[in-house]
Amino acid sequence: MVYQRKQVQISAFIAEETKAALDDYVAATGLKKNRVIEEALQRHLAAIDEIPATMIIETHLTTTPEGWKMICDLLDSDEEPTPFETESYRRHVEYIQTNGKSLEDKILPLLHAADGD
């Protein structure tokens, strides 16, 4: 008797380049797309469980124009960021992740204090 797992279908929009790479891979290996995708998802989810959350680097960053300027300034500088710059960036990222709801009252006074207001 052959064991067969119950399967469900999922749908996702992906970049054209990602689809092209997948098509090339399955053509070269002879594997089915569903097998490649399922194994990739299983490996990704297993890795997330094994790696501490603080070590995971997001592949996409959402920020405001002010945050983008802060990032560019840090990258353009040859100096190490100050503790205030590091903390400001961390709070800015947290602000974006929470849509500003939990940190709005904390960030504005800090930014004004940095400007000398």
- Provide the pLDDT for residue 41: 93
What DSSP element (H or E) covers 65? helix 65-76
Cα angle value 23/6/45 (rounded, 5°): 60
Per residue in 83-113, pLDDT (tens digit) is 887 777 777 776 666 655 555 555 556 666 6
Q: What's the CA gap between 105 and 58, in Å, rounded?
A: 26
Q: CB-side exposure of 116: number of CA atoms within 13 Å?
A: 0
**What single-letter amino acid sits at 78?**
D
Dump pLDDT digits (tens) for 18-77: 999 999 999 999 999 999 999 999 998 898 888 877 777 666 667 778 878 877 887 788
C-alpha to C-alpha distances, 95 to 39, 55, 60, 111, 115, nearest whole angstrom: 34, 20, 16, 13, 19
The residue ranges of every structural domain in the chain are: 16-55, 65-114
pLDDT attached to residue 40: 94
